[in-house]
Amino acid sequence: MPNLTTAAASLAILLMAGIAVIAETPEGGAGDPAALLQEGLAFAAKKGDVNNLAEAARRFLRACEAGHPDASRALADVWATLAPDLRVPMLGVFAEERRGFGVMIRLFPWAPDACGKTLAEAIGQLAPQAAKDGPERRLALTAFGAQDPAVQSAARAALTAAIGNSAVAEELAKIYGASAEAFAESVGQVANAARQGNPAAAEALAIAGRDPDPEVRTKAAEWLGANAGTDAHALAALQSMAADPDPHIRQSAAFALHAISSRRPELLKLLLDAARDADLNVRLTAVIGLAADVIRRNAAATDALIAATKDVDPTVRAKALEGLGNSIASGNEKARSFLKTAANGKDPELAAKAQAYLKKYPLRK
């Protein structure tokens, strides 16, 4: 294919800078695998612009995920045409979609041997980019689940070089190399090692806590939340997750702190901040978590739920009022005072619910 080598630098800059060409082009095929395959073939047939190969790969990946029987061969053909200096940038294309790189890894046992070899070579070059918490690290993690041992070995080498710690890479391999059936058990084994004082296991769980795959980060968050009050790695990981630009990861951080946040001021602050998050699901998760602190009569948490009764979302408002209402049974007088005022206020819905909680939990004389 002409002009691939001469355009390598520009494509690398385009892809590795995170400029998603797909956002500017039609999704195509409306999810129909046959239409996606045909669109991909049309892009692959165009000459003179290497970005067409990236667009072809995107279509083929979606067609693979949708189950088209010919898409895996088409994807392998795209990879086989790449000049060596384009392979690492192309991995960025595969990493754009949450499970896209995983699709490619699953398909390569059936691809020509040369494709598997170049895939391992490309992953092996990822160390500089994988040193940051970006898609390059995540796609290297995904490669732990490859059937090809050369790909697994390349992933270990890239992450060891990026992280600077082979022990952490080995703990990550236990998580990301596990089958779907063994995944929960594998995470549990790493969590047990972290609980027993293994710093490499704790760091591996911190990395997994920022994964875009909800199953991975939820399992990791269970350990992080349970240990954030006593383990420095867990606390730092949750603080990083709570500041992540991805609202799903911020929500996982809030979820991890349910019922334990008032053990340390740093943990409570994370939930208090999350209760004011721009994302609805993050706010809702934080409000539900803060209810335990309100029951423990924490003044800051109580103020946060009082503020949340004015949230724009009715579910958040309802959960906030529920948390305040249930807390008066444990003697939260600040919450009771608010409910008394609300019971006589101008908001009929809030007034009715406040009256119901005051009736359910009357002040004992």
Nearest Cα to Cα of residue 205 among 195, 192, 190, 215: 190
* Average pLDDT estimate for 103-115: 77
How many beta carbons lie within 10 A of that of residue 118, not counting itself?
17
Residue 304 in tokens: 């946060």
Spatial separation of the C-alpha atoms in residues 238 and 285, rounded to whole Å: 15
Closest CA to 155 of 119, 207, 109: 119
CATH assignment of 257-365? 1.25.10.10
Per the CB < 8 A criterion, the answer to whether 287 and 254 are in contact is no
Q: What does the alpha-carbon distance between residue 236 and residue 198 come to, in Å, rounded to a whole number?
A: 16
Task: For the chain, give the mean pLDDT.
Answer: 84
| Euclidean distance between CA atoms 260 and 258, whole angstroms | 6
**Could you tell me which residue, 154 or 96, shows the higher pLDDT?**
154
pLDDT number for residue 155: 92
Whole-prediction pTM: 0.71
Give 97's pLDDT tier (boundaries 50, 70, 90). Answer: low
| pLDDT tens-digit map of 201-250 | 999 998 898 887 888 888 888 888 888 888 888 888 899 899 988 898 89
Q: Which residue has the higher pLDDT, 179 or 30?
A: 179
Q: Is residue 10 over pLDDT 70?
A: no
Q: Which pLDDT value is given to residue 47?
A: 72
Token digits for 17? 């800078």
Confidence band of 365 (pLDDT split at 50, 70, 90): low
Exposure on the CB side of residue 133, measured as CA atoms within 13 A: 16
In the chain, where the domains are located? 1-129, 257-365
The answer on pLDDT for 61 being more than 50 is: yes
